């Protein structure tokens, strides 16, 4: 005779709890509740037994007899198990033949709920397959505490080594996308003939540029972008708080185009001696200036001069107007103090009727270009200081080796300067001097060999025959 067993609802309830109520802790709680319920029902099935030390021994014997009779009713191989708890079984509860019951593999278990946005109950990760995430950047679904949840640690990592490229995750696809981060949209503006200032603490710094094709290597420091519209030959000058500057041709649409490294036209790394760059803007051109500041808490400034047509800055080593002449070599700088040559003032005064014999090799090589002599004098020079008491004609008798010449310079308040030369000769020199005026008699050479010479200072002579 086959044995039939009623499938108890308590087991079914505990199994459903695995899928409907989530984590193991919840299931454990349900299981304990079910066990408690079973114990309660068991107590309802069994005769009431009261344990009381005060009760009589006779009552105890009656309880033992009742218990024995109950146990006897449950015994027997062919008897059908009937429990009071079966009253909670639905009238349609299925009776299964135990010979047809087979063990179930956990991997074949199908979750109770099945949604497309997570929250599905699960035992293994395979139970989470097929779920579609609203935000795929949060990672794939995994079975965590018996519930399908997205694992952000397994999500895409979107990064870019280029500071001018921003990488981000697309929530719809989970793919990494890129977009320009260097828009070349300046936060400041510089105009011709104007000046712009800012603090290095101001916001609006731009990531450093990489791969610039002009000027010094780009810095790794953030840069400040300045818009500039120039015309003609342009000089942009910076104060001491600028470390480097590059000029890039501005894109037509700064808000949408990247800063192109190949658009760099010039650049400079500033030393204390020179702090300017030059641009050729033609009729008109737009530029973006990339400025690296020298440090925090600094007042930074730029100024611009446009349409340069002459050598105006005579100490920067640049041919300002592109005429082939630089700084002091350009006549435009002739009146600049630093461009004016000076000869060594000997300090001692030579008087009338004196004679001096010297060797030019003992002189100084400081003066080359004299206003009274078109021939450059690159050799050493020897200088005499002469101050007459009277206004008279003086003959400076001069006998010297070839290539040497004598020159008369007047002190105009700037000591001995070749540009104040009044007369020159390779032999005797005659000149009408003015009383109490300081003159300089200079012997110079057109070559570096030098030589010996003799000078006679003859005051009020009879004059040339």
Judge whether 154 and 169 are in contact, CB under 8 Å.
Answer: no
Q: Among 79-88, 207-216, 235-244, which range has the highest average pLDDT?
A: 235-244
pLDDT, tens digit, 9 for 90 and up, residues 154-187:
889 998 876 567 788 999 898 999 876 656 778 8
CA distance 141 to 136: 10
The predicted-structure confidence for 274-295, as pLDDT tens digits, reads as follows: 588 999 988 888 999 999 998 8
Boundaries of CATH 2.60.120.380 in the chain? Answer: 349-459
Share of the chain above pLDDT 70, in %: 67
| Single pTM value for the model | 0.48
Give the Cα-Cα-Cα angle 295, 303, 187 (nearest 5 degrees). 65
Domain 349-459 architecture = Sandwich (2.60)
* β-pair type (242-249, 392-400): unpaired
DSSP conformation letters of 269-301: E-BTTB-EEEEE-TT-EEEEEEEEESSSS-EEE
- Identify the pLDDT of residue 2: 43
Among 350, 263, 358, 278, CA closest to 313: 278
Cβ neighbours, 10 Å, residue 325: 15
Categorize the per-residue pLDDT at 109 as very low, low, confident or very high, splitting at 50, 70 and 90: very low
Distance between CA 122 and CA 142 in Å, rounded? 9
Helix (H, G, I), strand (E, B) or coil at 77: coil
pLDDT tens by residue, 380-410: 888 899 999 889 999 999 998 888 999 999 9
Considering only the top CATH level, what class is 188-328? mainly beta
- The arrangement of strands across the sheet holding 276-280 comes to 195-199, 299-305, 233-238, 276-280
Token pair belonging to 37: 């319920």
Question: Tens digits of per-residue pLDDT, 308-338?
Answer: 999 998 888 889 999 998 888 888 988 887 7
On the CB side of 284, CA atoms within 13 Å amount to: 3
CA–CA separation, 358 and 384 (whole Å): 11
Strands 439-445 and 147-150: unpaired
pLDDT tens, residue by residue, 48-80: 434 343 344 445 445 443 443 444 444 444 444
Which residues is 287 bridged to in the sheet? 228, 249
Q: What is the residue whose two structure tokens read 């033609």? A: 282
The residue whose two tokens read 């005026």 is 437
Interval 112-116 mean pLDDT: 42
pLDDT digits (tens, 9 = 90+) for 420-438: 999 999 999 999 999 999 9
């Amino acid at each position: 005779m086959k044995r039939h067993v009623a499938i108890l609802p308590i087991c079914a309830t505990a199994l459903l709890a695995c899928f409907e109520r989530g984590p193991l802790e919840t299931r454990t709680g349900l299981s304990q509740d079910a066990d408690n319920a079973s114990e309660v029902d068991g107590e309802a099935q069994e005769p009431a037994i009261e344990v009381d030390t005060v009760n009589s021994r006779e009552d105890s014997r009656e309880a033992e007899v009742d218990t024995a009779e109950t146990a006897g009713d449950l015994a027997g191989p062919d008897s059908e198990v009937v429990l009071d708890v079966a009253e909670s079984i639905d009238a349609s509860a299925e009776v299964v033949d135990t010979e047809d019951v087979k063990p179930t593999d956990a991997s074949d278990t199908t979750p109770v709920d099945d949604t497309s946005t997570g929250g599905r109950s699960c035992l293994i990760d395979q139970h989470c397959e097929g779920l579609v995430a609203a935000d795929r950047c949060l990672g794939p679904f995994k079975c965590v505490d018996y519930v399908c949840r997205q694992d952000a640690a397994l999500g895409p990592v979107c990064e870019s080594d280029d500071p001018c490229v921003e990488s981000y995750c697309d929530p719809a696809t989970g793919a990494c996308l890129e977009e320009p981060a260097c828009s070349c949209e300046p936060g400041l503006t510089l105009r011709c003939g104007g000046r712009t200032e800012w603090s290095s603490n101001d916001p609006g710094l731009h990531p450093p540029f990489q791969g610039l094709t002009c000027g010094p290597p780009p810095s790794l420091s953030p840069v400040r972008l300045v818009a500039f519209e120039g015309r003609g030959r342009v000089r942009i000058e910076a104060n001491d708080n600028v470390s480097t500057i590059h000029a890039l041709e501005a894109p037509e649409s700064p808000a949408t185009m990247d800063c192109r490294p190949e658009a760099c036209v010039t650049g400079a790394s500033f030393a204390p001696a020179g702090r300017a760059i030059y641009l050729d803007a033609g009729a008109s051109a737009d530029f973006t200036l990339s400025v690296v500041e020298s440090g925090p808490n600094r007042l930074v400034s730029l100024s611009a001069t446009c349409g340069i047509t002459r050598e105006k800055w005579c100490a920067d080593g640049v041919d300002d107007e592109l005429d082939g002449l630089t700084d002091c070599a350009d006549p435009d700088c002739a009146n600049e103090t630093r461009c004016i040559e000076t000869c060594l003032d000997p300090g001692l005064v030579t008087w009338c009727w004196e004679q001096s014999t010297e060797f030019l090799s003992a002189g100084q090589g400081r003066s080359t270009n004299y206003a009274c002599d078109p021939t450059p004098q690159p050799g050493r020079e020897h200088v005499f200081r002469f101050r007459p008491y009277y206004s008279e004609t003086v003959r400076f008798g001069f006998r010297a080796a070839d290539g040497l010449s004598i020159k008369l310079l007047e002190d105009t308040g700037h000591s001995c300067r070749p540009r104040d030369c009044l007369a020159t000769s390779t032999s005797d020199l005659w000149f009408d001097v003015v009383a109490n005026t300081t003159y300089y008699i200079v012997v110079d050479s057109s070559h570096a060999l030098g030589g010996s010479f003799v000078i006679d200072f003859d005051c009020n002579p009879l004059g040339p025959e």
